[in-house]
Every structure is written in C-alpha cells, then in structure tokens.
Amino acid sequence: MRTIRQGGSRELEVRRSRFVCTLARAADEAEAAAFIATHRRAHRDATHNCTAYVVGERGETTRHSDDGEPAGTAGTPMLEVLTRRGLTGTAAVVTRYFGGVKLGAGGLVRAYTQAVAATVDAVGMVELRPVVTVTVAVDHALAGRFLGDLHARGHQPGDVRYGTGVEADVAVPVPDLAAFEAWAAEATAGRATLRRGAPGHIEVPVT
C-alpha cells in the first residue's frame, strides 16, 4: 500500500467556483474524522466541505460524503482517486466556494476528481513496505567491520548503542528476514546475537 508523503492543499478554479483540496495523513478512522471535523469548523463559510478517506493496513476502511452536492458527484469521485492510487492512511477534504455557475453532475465529478488528483500529485506518495526491526548484538572487536558490512549491503542502522557490546537496530524487509539473519550469522562467524522486534513499515518515495 501507499500513503501521501505529507499533507498539503491545492486550489482549482472551475467557472468561478473555487475547489480547495486539503490532504492529511490519518493513522486510523478516529484521526481521519478529527481532521475532517476540524477542517469543517475552520471553513464553515464554504458552500460545501466534501470528504473522503481510506485507512487500515490494507485500505479496508473507506468513507465519503457529498456534503449537500448531488449524490455521487463529490465524495465518490474523491474516494476513487485515493483508491485508484492505492493509498491508505489518507484523508481528503475538498472545500467548495460556489461561483454562481452550475456545473452539472459531470462537471462536478470532473472538478472534485481533478482537485484531489492534483493535490496528491503535488504532495507526493510513498510506498509502505513491511519491515521487522532486527537488533544485532556483537562484541566491540567485531563491531567496526560488521557495521561497515551492513552499510555495504545497503542497510542503514536506525540506532547503534555502545555498552559492554555493540547493538545495532536494522529495519529488514519481511521477505528478506531469513536471508538477512543467515548473512549476519555468517558475517560474524556465528558470534552475533539477533533479536526480532515488532513489525512496522518503511517509506519509499514513489517516483
């Protein structure tokens, strides 16, 4: 799955109506709802504040609202942009200020679609890749060479701690866990102690 790289806003004008799309990250449904509620209070003077969000590990929870626009012309196309991009953890509000010219159902769908798509393009996306943090403990005599080997293999330790020995936390992609542990054991001649931590994600920019 993917999420937006960061929150942000962009404005689109269509026949004198202003469509201002604001995106935010949302870890869960409560966070998405809180963002939407705050945005609506801040823009209560707008004609409409239409919304959509996708949350969950696999984007399994979705909600949308037309907020008074004709049914299916705002929230649905907004949500379709998020789901077509494979996004999760993302909430969108499009604030419309009516410009006096009716756009018709087709015009509204295009405007809300374009507003969200342009904002996603502007803020960027990252791919969420599942990882497990593996803590590797070695003695001081091995640490320098082992840390150098880690960097050479493209692993950047998130934290390195020095005490009676040296511990390095390494985020390892889930499919590579077994291979990494085998390599670490071989590289240290079996003198490393490995401990798996909680699963998580790393973010890789989508170009």
pTM, entire model: 0.81
Q: What are the two backbone dihedrals, phi and then psi, of residue 129, each rounded to the nearest 5 degrees?
A: -105, 125
Residue 156 has pLDDT above 90, yes or no: no
* 129 DSSP β-pair partners: 202
pLDDT of res. 62: 98
Closest CA to 138 of 180, 178, 188: 188
Mean pLDDT of 160-174: 93
**129-205 adopts what CATH topology?**
Alpha-Beta Plaits (3.30.70)
**162 pLDDT higher than 90:** yes
Q: How far is CA 172 from the centre of its chain?
A: 19
- Rounded to an integer, the average pLDDT of 87-116 is 97
What is the reported pLDDT for 1?
Answer: 86
Mean pLDDT, range 99-124, rounded to an integer: 97
Residue 74 has pLDDT above 90, yes or no: yes
> Which part of the chain is CATH 3.30.230.30?
2-123
Alpha-carbon gap, residue 63 to 32, rounded angstroms: 10
* pLDDT of 185 higher than 90: yes
Tell me: pLDDT of 158 over 90. no
> What is the mean pLDDT of the segment spanning 193-198?
92
Q: Is the pLDDT of residue 27 over 90?
A: yes
**107 CB burial (10 A radius; 0-12, 13-18, 19+):** middle
DSSP the chain: -EEESS-EEEEEEETTEEEEEEEEE-SSHHHHHHHHHHHHHHTTTSSEEEEEEEESTTS-EEEEE-TTSSTTSSHHHHHHHHHHTTB-SEEEEEEEE--S---HHHHHHHHHHHHHHHHHHHH-EEEEEEEEEEEEEE-HHHHHHHHHHHHHTT---SEEEESSSEEEEEEEEGGGHHHHHHHHHHHTTT--EEEEEEEEEEEEE--
Residue 161 pLDDT > 90, yes or no? yes
Q: Where does the pLDDT of residue 88 fall: very low under 50, low under 70, confident under 90, or very high at 90 and above?
A: very high
Q: What is residue 202's predicted lDDT score, i.e. its pLDDT?
A: 85
CATH architecture of 2-123: 2-Layer Sandwich (3.30)
pLDDT (mean) for 176-200: 93
- Which pLDDT score is estimated for 206? 92
Confidence at residue 49, expressed as pLDDT on a 0 to 100 scale: 98
Mean pLDDT over each residue of the chain, to the nearest integer: 95
Residue limits of CATH 3.30.70.240 in the chain: 129-205
